[in-house]
Amino acid sequence: MPGIIAALTDALGRRVSDLIGSLGGVRPAPAPPARFREGPAAIARPRRGPAHARVGLGIGYPGAQMRGLDRILELQGLDTAIDRLEHRREQLEAGEELSSLRKEMEEADARLGELRLASDSISSESTRLEHEIASMSDKLHAEEKRMYDGSIANARELEALQHEIASLKERRSRAEDELLEQMVRKEDVEARAAQAQTEAEAARARVEEVGGDAVRELDQISADLAAKRSERGSLVPAFDEELLELYDDLREQKHGVGAAAIVDGVCQACHEKLSAVELERLKRTEGVKRCEYCRRIVVLV
């Protein structure tokens, strides 16, 4: 069982190191396995004087007692809330949601406008056809009357009149077909206009709602941000400057999260499960505990 032997040896080695640490020995940190080491950016960052050097030696190893360690998650909670509020405020100020809704509303209005124009033009075309049909009917009626009132003198005149009546009937029938077509079109356009009107009204209501909501939400965010920042301001003096510096650096490098809880052996920031040996070591670590995977400050809960 070479694996177990290696783990035992490792644990024993650590225990000895811990003992040296607790006796006040300043033992440089052993390098974490290559794949867990900080990225080149972290390595290349300039060290900032003696405070930093001390952090480098103490953090993660026994003996480095730091003020505020018990409240670091509280600070992280506040910072996460502040980050989230600031992000939401940026979104609202950019007004992306509102401008896309406004665009939808404008499009719905434009569709409605076009349909109304089409409906108006169909109406006037229908009116024109109705007048044309009425006038042709009047003319037909008059011509038909003339045919039987004895005013026709000869066969050629009669033939011409019959021809005129047939032509009038044909033109009127064409106009009636056209009118029917226009009526069908109008029905369709009006149904679409009613639908477009409903959509345009809904879009307008949504713009007003979201616009009003955005204003109210921005006010709320300002109030929440002020409260959280003041809470943060009163919490900060509870921390050792060095701890705060480390935490801020980590937050900068690691997507705003510098400290995380270890729950059931799992780091809540990187979601890696720590080995039993490592957990045991962390439990015995009195100073700043760090996740062996993501190197964030961790708190066993």
Interaction of residue 254 with Zn ion, rule CB under 5 A = no
Interaction of residue 267 with Zn ion, rule CB under 5 A = yes
Interaction of residue 75 with Zn ion, rule CB under 5 A = no
Closer by beta carbon to Zn ion, 126 or else 268: 268
Interaction of residue 293 with Zn ion, rule CB under 5 A = yes
* Tokens encoding 13: 């080695």
Q: How far is the CB of 253 from Zn ion (least distance, A)?
A: 13
Please give the DSSP secondary-structure letter assigned to residue 273: B
* Tokens encoding 24: 């006040």
Interaction of residue 257 with Zn ion, rule CB under 5 A = no
Closer by beta carbon to Zn ion, 179 or else 288: 288
**Number of Cβ within a 10 Å radius of residue 8:** 12
Which of 196, 192, 185, 200 lies closest to 121, judged by CA? 185
Closer by beta carbon to Zn ion, 179 or else 291: 291
Closer by beta carbon to Zn ion, 129 or else 269: 269
Choose the binding region for Zn ion from 61-69, 81-89, 197-205, 288-296 (rule: CB under 5 A).
288-296
Instruction: Decide if 208 contacts 33 (C-beta within 8 A).
Output: no
Q: How far is the CB of 262 from Zn ion (least distance, A)?
A: 8
Task: Name the residue with tokens 């015995």.
Answer: 284
Closer by beta carbon to Zn ion, 32 or else 95: 32
Q: How far is the CB of 249 from Zn ion (least distance, A)?
A: 16
Choose the binding region for Zn ion from 43-51, 153-161, 177-185, 270-278 (rule: CB under 5 A).
270-278
Q: How far is the CB of 298 from Zn ion (least distance, A)?
A: 7
Distance CA 245, CA 239 (A): 10
Residue in 115, 196, 291, 299 binding Zn ion, rule: CB under 5 A: 291
Interaction of residue 175 with Zn ion, rule CB under 5 A = no
Instruction: Tell me the backbone φ, ψ of residue 86, rounded to 5 degrees.
Output: -65, -40
Q: How far is the CB of 42 from Zn ion (least distance, A)?
A: 15
Distance CA 192, CA 65 (A): 74
Q: How far is the CB of 295 from Zn ion (least distance, A)?
A: 7
Interaction of residue 270 with Zn ion, rule CB under 5 A = yes
**Number of Cβ within a 10 Å radius of residue 197:** 16
**Helix boundaries (H) for the chain:** 2-22, 40-44, 49-58, 72-94, 96-148, 155-235, 241-253, 276-284
Distance CA 248, CA 253 (A): 9
Q: How far is the CB of 272 from Zn ion (least distance, A)?
A: 5
**DSSP reduced 3-state for 145:** helix
Instruction: Decide if 92 contacts 221 (C-beta within 8 A).
Output: yes
Residue in 105, 175, 294, 299 binding Zn ion, rule: CB under 5 A: 294
Q: Where along the sequence are the contacts to Zn ion (CB under 5 A)?
A: 267, 269-270, 291, 293-294
